[in-house]
Amino acid sequence: MPFARRTRIIGTLALGLALASNAMPAAADAQETKPPATTVPLDRDVPRHQAINERARQGDVDLLFIGDSITEGWEGAGKEVWNQRYLPRKAMNAGIGGDLTQHVLWRLDHGNIDGLSPRLVVLMIGTNNFGADSPKDIAAGIQAIVEKLRMKLPSTKVLLLGVFPRGETPGDPLREKNVAVNGLVKKLGDEKMVHFLEINAKLLNSDGTQDREKMPDLVHLSPKGYEIWADAIEPTVADLLDETGVAFPELPKGSGTISKDAPRKFTATPSGLKYRILRKGEGAAPKGTSSVKVNYHGWLDDGKVFDSSYKRGQPISFRLNQVIKGWTEGMQLVSPGGMIELEIPAALGYGERGAGTAIGPNATLHFLVELLEVN
């Protein structure tokens, strides 16, 4: 064989061996870098998905909830709270029972948010991935959803909730996975456009066990559970929606005036009470055991007045430790001669039982109160 030809053959063989040797590590690298299933969109073209698309086409959405059956449950066990808290805020429910993170990723590309520009998205997803996926992969799926929301809705803020409690006891493997996932996704919050909030402690008993009164099947929420959820996120939701332009209440006949510098934004306390001082008073505010004399006007979310001392033309006196929790806390925030507006969640009001025929179960109460005297 001529030397030149043999050289070409040897060169070709060498090149082939080199390509083969390079190909094997490349295949291994591809296998190592294969994205977790939690981040790969998975078809979810079910009737509920189409219904969400239809709602999205109607537009006029300021607040969007995205998630699985726990979020969809705002239309079931959480319906009353939803109607009170979120319908007035132009809210839309994009929760579908059984959804994995990969289902949500698919839905976001297939119509669920097309044409929308909500001010805030509340996202809680991942519990259905607990059976097959590792905490790292579940967190990766949640991160992929957050990133897609930021890409598709660049002007929308995201309130990312930690996955709600799993595992009946603190040592349960599901609880350990729960803690690990939330610890990872917490890092996604930048306190600018993405805000992380975990409310799990409010859904558990004091010893860390799950509370079946709030989560009957240890996954889904009861009506009380939805009330707790709403109360727990309310201060953050109000802040992220920048609800600074809330109009002052209409003053009842016989009341004093609102100060020109009164804030339009409510302040929220850790208990969930919201308030704003409409007129500053003077002197020391009452204590939790003080007797006070007040004029007040109370109404529900729909504007219906349920009680008013102004209408009766007679102030009322009482001890602050003998009234609902919202009053006990709220009246300690204003001085004599001042006027305060209170928004009291059901947990600080009459709760699930309501009060007579005027105040139904789980009602949010609104009050305008003038503090006349403290004894």
Residue 65 contacts by C-beta under 8 Å, 6 or more apart in sequence? 71, 74, 86, 91, 92, 93, 94, 95, 121, 122, 124
3-class secondary structure, 102: helix
b/e for 254-265, b at 16 or more Cβ within 10 A? ebeebeeeeeee
Strand 157-161's sheet: what is its strand order? 91-95, 63-67, 120-124, 157-161, 194-197
Q: Does 195 qualify as catalytic in the annotation? A: no
Is 220 a residue of the active site?
Answer: yes
Dihedral pair phi/psi, residue 64, rounded to 5°: -125, 125
The residue annotated as part of the active site, out of 69, 134, 291, 335, is 69
Which amino acid would we find at residue 321?
N
- H/E stretch holding 144 reads helix 135-152
Set 60, 217, 261, 302: catalytic member: 217
The reply to whether 69 belongs to the active site is: yes
The catalytic residue among 49, 103, 220, 366 is 220
Bridge partners for 274 per DSSP: 268, 343
Identify any residues that bridge with 292 across adjacent strands, giving them in sequence order: 318, 374
Catalytic residue numbers? 69, 217, 220
